[in-house]
Amino acid sequence: MLKLKERGMLQDIFPDNSSQEIIDLLNSGQQCVYAGFDPTAQSLHIGNLLVLVNLLHWQRAGQRVVALVGGATGLIGDPSGRTNERIALAPSSVNENSASIVENIRRIFNNHEQYFWKKGDKLHEIRIVNNYEWYSKLNAVDLVGQIGRHFRMGTMLSRQSVQSRLTSEGGMSFTEFCYQIFQAYDWLQLLQTHDCRFQVGGNDQMGNIMSGHDLISRLTKIKVYGLTLPLITSESGDKFGKSSGSAVWLDSRKTSPFQLYQFFIRVKDSDVGKLLKLFSFEPPGTIDEFVQKHQTKPELRIAQKKLAKQVTLLVHGEEGLHSALQSSATLYEGSLESLGKLNTSELSHLFEGATVCELLLEPGTTLLDLALRAKCFATEGDARRIISAGGFYINQQRATNIDEVLSTSTHILPNNVSLVRVGGKIVEYSSELDSVKRKVTHQSLDYRNKLGFYNFLVLMLDIQGGFAAEQQFVVASFDILIHLHLMLTTN
C-alpha cells in the first residue's frame, strides 16, 4: 500500500485511519483484492486502465486479484460521477460488451506477465467473475427481504452520488438509487466466495465502497477495506483521456495502437513524470532520474516515448507496439520503408476517414492518367506543365515523363501503396484497402478527438465500385499534409 501511495495511485482509504490495520493484514498473509467494471461500452478506456494497473501492482506483490464484470449491474447503471441517467442497454448488448471487456482484461494481464514480469516465480492468475452469476439466482423478493433490510434510507440519501443527482434538473431514478445495494452485495459475495477483503476503484466509487463496507459489517464480523484511486487530470484541469471530447479505448477496434501511442506521445512535459509512475512499472526513483534526463532535451520527448511504448506494449503487446511505431514513422518521419511495411488494417487506421478513390489499374496507365484521376491538378494543361517541369514525385523520386507507364515493380511499394507528391500535396494510392471502403458521399469531420489533428474534409466518390477521397491534416507543430488515397486494383 505504501508503494502505491509513493506512485500517486492512492487517493483515500476507508475506513479512515485504518492504514496500520491494512498494513498488518497484508503482512499477515496473502490477501484478495477486487475491482469492478460495468459493461456499459464495448471496451474499457484509459480511466479503467489505471484501475487495472493498480490490480497488477497487487498481483506483483503476491496478492490474489479479482476483476468483477457487471453483467447484471450493467443493466442498471452506476450513477456515480454522472449528471444524468445512462441510456438503458439491451441484455444482448450487455452480454456482448461483457465478453469484450473480459478480453480486454485478459489481454492486458497476459501482456504484463509476458513483457513486464521479470521475476522467475509465477504470478497468481487473475480471476474474472460476472455478477450475473448470482443475481440470476436471486429474485426481487429475496434481494429486498434479505439484503435491502440492512440499508438505511438516511445513509443512502447522504451519498454524494445521490445528493448531486437529487438536486439536478433530471433528478434520479429508483433504479439508479438502488445501484449501491447491488454493488454492496457484490462485495459480500466476493468475500464469501474468495475471501476478498479489499476493493479498489476510482475516487467516484467511495460511496459504493462505503455501502459495501456497511453491509458486510452488519452481516459479518470480518473487517474489509476500500481504497480509491485519484482522478487524473492534466495541468489544465482536463479529465485525462477526455480532454478531446472522446474516450481513448483499450480495444484496437475503437482506438488503434497507433492512436493510443500518439495520445501518450502528446502528453505535456509537466504531466509525463506523474503518468509514468501511474502507468508503468519502473521504480519511482528510476522514473525521477529519467524525467531529469528528459528535461535536458525536452524537444526529443524521450519521456513521452517511454510512456507511450510502455502503455502500448501493455495494452496491445509487441505486435501492437510494432504497428504503432511503424505507423508513427510513416506519418511523422516520412519513412517510405515504414509505409511499405504497413498492412491493410494499419493503413486504414492511420488514414482513417481519408478521402479514398478506387480505380481499376488498367494496362498502360500513365503518370498523367494517375495525376488526373487523383485530381492532383486542376487541368490537364497544368498536369503536363508541372510534371514536365519536375514538380511531380512518386515515392520521393522525381517523375517527369507524363507518358511513363505505371509499373508494380517500380512505382508500387511492397504493400501495394505508393506515395505521390506535387509540391505540398502528397498522394497515396493502394490496391489493398478493402477495410476502409464505405458508401459515403460527403462527410465533414473534426478528427482532433482521435489523432490530435484538426479539421479536414472527407469526400468519397463512388467510381466503378470504388471510392475517391482527400484529406488534409493540420498537425500541431507539423507541416500541412494533404493525403489522397487512390486505390488501384488489377482485373
From the CB of residue 474, how many other CB atoms can be counted at a distance below 10 Å?
A: 13
* 484: helix, strand or coil: strand
- Bridge partners of 358, per DSSP, are 487
Q: How confident is the model at residue 447 (pLDDT cuts 50, 70, 90)?
A: very low
Highest mean pLDDT among 256-270, 365-379, 410-424, 431-445: 256-270
Q: What counts of helices (H) and strands (E) characterise the chain?
A: 20, 16
> Which pLDDT belongs to residue 162?
78
Position 414, amino acid? P
State percent of the chain over pLDDT 70: 77
State yes or no: pLDDT of 448 exceeds 90: no
Q: Which of 139-143, 261-265, 290-294, 327-331 has the lowest mean pLDDT?
A: 327-331
Q: Is the pLDDT of residue 245 over 60?
A: no
Choice among 25-34, 191-200, 329-338 with the minimum mean pLDDT:
329-338
Pick the residue with more confidence: 151 or 290? 290
* Distant-in-sequence, close-in-space partners of 88: CB < 8 Å, separation ≥ 6: 75, 77
Exposure on the CB side of residue 65, measured as CA atoms within 13 A: 23
Mean per-residue pLDDT over the chain, rounded: 79
Q: Per residue in 15-44, pLDDT tens?
A: 999 999 999 999 999 999 999 999 989 999
The mean-pLDDT minimum among 167-171, 184-188, 346-350, 429-433 falls in 429-433
Q: Which of 26-40, 150-164, 196-210, 303-317 has the lowest mean pLDDT?
A: 150-164
> Would you say 112 and 314 are in contact if contact means Cβ atoms under 8 Å apart?
yes
Q: What is the pLDDT of residue 280?
A: 95
For the chain, percent of residues with pLDDT exceeding 90: 44
Asked if 187 and 214 count as a contact pair (C-beta separation under 8 A), the reply is: no
User: DSSP readout, 11-50?
Assistant: -EEESTT-HHHHHHHHHHS--EEEEEE--SSSS-BHHHHH
DSSP, collapsed to helix, strand or coil, labels residue 344 as helix
Q: Name the H helices within 136-283.
A: 140-142, 153-158, 160-166, 174-177, 179-194, 206-219, 257-265, 269-279
225-241 per-position pLDDT tens digit: 999 999 887 566 666 76
Is the pLDDT reported for residue 437 higher than 50? no
Please say if the pLDDT value at position 454 is more than 70.
no
In this prediction, residue 241 carries a pLDDT of 60
Residue 407 is predicted with a pLDDT of: 81
Res 81 pLDDT > 80: no
Instruction: Please give the single-letter amino acid code of residue 482.
Output: I
Residues 211, 328: Cα–Cα separation, whole Å: 47
Instruction: Please check the confidence at residue 457 and state whether its pLDDT lies above 90.
Output: no
Domains of the chain: 1-232 (3.40.50.620), 256-333 (1.10.240.10), 345-489 (3.10.290.10)
Residue 236 pLDDT: 61
Q: 15: cis peptide before it, omega within 30°?
A: yes
The per-residue pLDDT for 151 is 78
- Which of 40-54, 79-93, 299-313, 379-393 has the least mean pLDDT? 79-93
What's the average model confidence in pLDDT over 422-450? 37
CB 60 within 8 A of CB 54: no
274 CB contacts (<8 Å, ≥6 apart)? 8, 232
User: Rounded mean pLDDT of 445-465?
Assistant: 27
Buried b (16+ CB within 10 A) or exposed e, 274-306: bbbbbbbbbeeeebeebbeebeeeeeebbbbbb
- Residues 115-165 have pLDDT tens digits of 999 888 899 999 999 999 999 988 888 888 788 878 787 777 777 777 777
> What's the confidence (pLDDT) of residue 84?
64
Tens of pLDDT, residue by residue over 355-400, are 445 556 678 889 898 888 877 788 999 999 999 988 887 776 789 9
Q: What are phi and psi of 352, to 5 degrees?
A: -60, 135
Residues 426, 483 contacting (CB under 8 angstroms): yes
Predicted confidence at residue 469, as pLDDT, reads 30
Residue 160 has a CB neighbour count (10 Å cut-off) of 12
